[in-house]
Homo-oligomer: A and B are copies of this chain.
Protein backbone atom coordinates (compact mmCIF):
# COMPACT_ATOMS: atom_id res chain seq x y z
CA UNK A 1 0.00 0.00 0.00
CA UNK A 2 2.65 2.46 1.04
CA UNK A 3 4.48 1.66 -2.15
CA UNK A 4 1.45 2.44 -4.24
CA UNK A 5 0.74 5.72 -2.50
CA UNK A 6 4.19 6.82 -3.48
CA UNK A 7 3.24 7.90 -6.98
CA UNK A 8 -0.39 8.25 -6.23
CA UNK A 9 -3.30 10.54 -6.71
CA UNK A 10 -2.48 10.07 -10.32
CA UNK A 11 -5.31 7.77 -11.21
CA UNK A 12 -3.78 7.19 -14.58
CA UNK A 13 -0.47 5.95 -13.16
CA UNK A 14 -2.31 3.70 -10.76
CA UNK A 15 -4.32 2.16 -13.59
CA UNK A 16 -1.10 1.49 -15.48
CA UNK A 17 0.48 -0.23 -12.49
CA UNK A 18 -2.59 -2.32 -11.74
CA UNK A 19 -3.01 -3.26 -15.39
CA UNK A 20 0.63 -4.28 -15.61
CA UNK A 21 0.43 -6.57 -12.59
CA UNK A 22 -2.81 -8.17 -13.72
CA UNK A 23 -1.68 -8.56 -17.30
CA UNK A 24 1.53 -10.24 -16.30
CA UNK A 25 -0.32 -12.67 -14.07
CA UNK A 26 -3.07 -13.42 -16.59
CA UNK A 27 -0.60 -13.69 -19.43
CA UNK A 28 1.46 -16.29 -17.60
CA UNK A 29 -1.58 -18.41 -16.83
CA UNK A 30 -2.95 -18.14 -20.35
CA UNK A 31 0.37 -19.14 -21.88
CA UNK A 32 0.73 -22.08 -19.53
CA UNK A 33 -2.81 -23.40 -19.73
CA UNK A 34 -4.07 -22.29 -23.13
CA UNK A 35 -0.91 -21.61 -25.12
CA UNK A 36 -1.85 -18.05 -26.05
CA UNK A 37 -0.95 -14.57 -24.86
CA UNK A 38 -3.40 -12.23 -23.19
CA UNK A 39 -3.59 -10.06 -26.30
CA UNK A 40 -4.25 -13.08 -28.46
CA UNK A 41 -6.93 -14.28 -26.03
CA UNK A 42 -8.76 -10.99 -26.42
CA UNK A 43 -8.92 -11.48 -30.19
CA UNK A 44 -9.99 -15.09 -29.79
CA UNK A 45 -12.88 -14.11 -27.51
CA UNK A 46 -14.06 -11.47 -29.92
CA UNK A 47 -14.07 -13.87 -32.85
CA UNK A 48 -15.69 -16.63 -30.79
CA UNK A 49 -18.58 -14.40 -29.78
CA UNK A 50 -19.10 -12.35 -32.87
CA UNK A 51 -17.68 -14.49 -35.63
CA UNK A 52 -15.52 -13.35 -38.52
CA UNK A 53 -14.43 -9.74 -38.23
CA UNK A 54 -12.42 -7.20 -40.14
CA UNK A 55 -9.11 -5.87 -38.89
CA UNK A 56 -10.53 -2.44 -38.22
CA UNK A 57 -13.43 -3.84 -36.20
CA UNK A 58 -11.02 -5.75 -34.00
CA UNK A 59 -9.06 -2.58 -33.34
CA UNK A 60 -12.24 -0.66 -32.50
CA UNK A 61 -13.36 -3.16 -29.88
CA UNK A 62 -9.97 -3.66 -28.27
CA UNK A 63 -8.83 -0.04 -28.54
CA UNK A 64 -5.86 -1.01 -30.68
CA UNK A 65 -4.38 0.95 -33.56
CA UNK A 66 -4.26 -0.55 -37.03
CA UNK A 67 -0.56 -1.51 -36.89
CA UNK A 68 -1.10 -3.35 -33.60
CA UNK A 69 -3.91 -5.40 -35.11
CA UNK A 70 -1.86 -6.24 -38.18
CA UNK A 71 1.00 -7.56 -36.07
CA UNK A 72 -1.18 -9.41 -33.62
CA UNK A 73 -3.24 -11.14 -36.30
CA UNK A 74 -0.12 -11.99 -38.30
CA UNK A 75 1.43 -13.77 -35.34
CA UNK A 76 -1.84 -15.57 -34.66
CA UNK A 77 -2.06 -16.62 -38.29
CA UNK A 78 1.47 -18.06 -38.13
CA UNK A 79 0.46 -19.90 -34.97
CA UNK A 80 -2.52 -21.38 -36.83
CA UNK A 81 -5.12 -19.75 -34.59
CA UNK A 82 -6.87 -17.66 -37.24
CA UNK A 83 -7.20 -17.36 -40.99
CA UNK A 84 -7.07 -14.13 -42.93
CA UNK A 85 -8.64 -13.50 -46.34
CA UNK A 86 -9.67 -10.62 -48.53
CA UNK A 87 -13.18 -9.29 -48.12
CA UNK A 88 -14.83 -10.04 -51.47
CA UNK A 89 -17.33 -7.21 -51.10
CA UNK A 90 -14.70 -4.59 -50.28
CA UNK A 91 -11.32 -5.76 -51.38
CA UNK A 92 -9.54 -3.23 -49.18
CA UNK A 93 -10.68 -5.12 -46.11
CA UNK A 94 -9.25 -8.30 -44.58
CA UNK A 95 -11.56 -10.76 -42.82
CA UNK A 96 -10.20 -12.66 -39.83
CA UNK A 97 -11.82 -15.92 -38.73
CA UNK A 98 -11.10 -18.56 -36.08
CA UNK A 99 -9.47 -21.77 -37.21
CA UNK A 100 -10.51 -24.99 -35.53
CA UNK A 101 -7.36 -24.83 -33.39
CA UNK A 102 -8.24 -21.23 -32.61
CA UNK A 103 -11.69 -22.24 -31.44
CA UNK A 104 -10.25 -24.83 -29.08
CA UNK A 105 -7.66 -22.35 -27.77
CA UNK A 106 -10.41 -19.78 -27.23
CA UNK A 107 -12.38 -22.21 -25.11
CA UNK A 108 -9.38 -23.14 -23.00
CA UNK A 109 -8.53 -19.46 -22.58
CA UNK A 110 -12.11 -18.78 -21.58
CA UNK A 111 -11.84 -21.23 -18.72
CA UNK A 112 -8.59 -19.69 -17.53
CA UNK A 113 -9.86 -16.16 -17.66
CA UNK A 114 -13.16 -17.04 -16.03
CA UNK A 115 -11.26 -18.37 -13.04
CA UNK A 116 -8.95 -15.37 -13.03
CA UNK A 117 -11.84 -12.98 -13.08
CA UNK A 118 -13.61 -14.86 -10.30
CA UNK A 119 -10.52 -14.38 -8.15
CA UNK A 120 -10.55 -10.67 -8.83
CA UNK A 121 -14.22 -10.45 -7.94
CA UNK A 122 -13.55 -12.27 -4.71
CA UNK A 123 -10.63 -10.04 -3.81
CA UNK A 124 -12.69 -6.94 -4.42
CA UNK A 125 -16.11 -7.99 -3.23
CA UNK A 126 -19.19 -7.86 -5.42
CA UNK A 127 -20.07 -4.26 -4.82
CA UNK A 128 -16.60 -2.86 -5.45
CA UNK A 129 -16.23 -5.10 -8.51
CA UNK A 130 -19.44 -3.72 -9.99
CA UNK A 131 -18.40 -0.15 -9.31
CA UNK A 132 -14.98 -0.77 -10.77
CA UNK A 133 -16.56 -2.35 -13.78
CA UNK A 134 -18.85 0.59 -14.41
CA UNK A 135 -16.12 3.16 -13.85
CA UNK A 136 -13.74 1.44 -16.24
CA UNK A 137 -16.45 1.08 -18.83
CA UNK A 138 -16.97 4.81 -18.70
CA UNK A 139 -13.25 5.47 -18.95
CA UNK A 140 -12.86 2.96 -21.76
CA UNK A 141 -15.53 4.64 -23.86
CA UNK A 142 -13.72 7.32 -25.77
CA UNK A 143 -14.37 10.73 -24.27
CA UNK A 144 -14.31 12.31 -27.71
CA UNK A 145 -16.90 9.82 -28.95
CA UNK A 146 -19.69 9.98 -26.36
CA UNK A 147 -21.86 7.62 -28.36
CA UNK A 148 -19.40 4.88 -27.59
> Which residues of A come within 8 Å of B, CB atoms?
1-23, 25-26, 38, 42, 45-46, 49-50, 60-64, 113, 116-117, 119-121, 123-124, 128-129, 131-143, 148
Contacts and interface: CB of A to CB of B under 8 A. Distances in A.
A26 B1 CA distance: 24
A18 B139 CA distance: 6
25 contacts: A4-B140, A4-B148, A6-B46, A6-B61, A7-B61, A10-B117, A11-B121, A11-B129, A11-B132, A12-B22, A12-B23, A12-B26, A15-B15, A17-B140, A18-B139, A18-B140, A20-B63, A22-B139, A25-B143, A123-B139, A124-B135, A131-B135, A132-B132, A132-B135, A132-B136
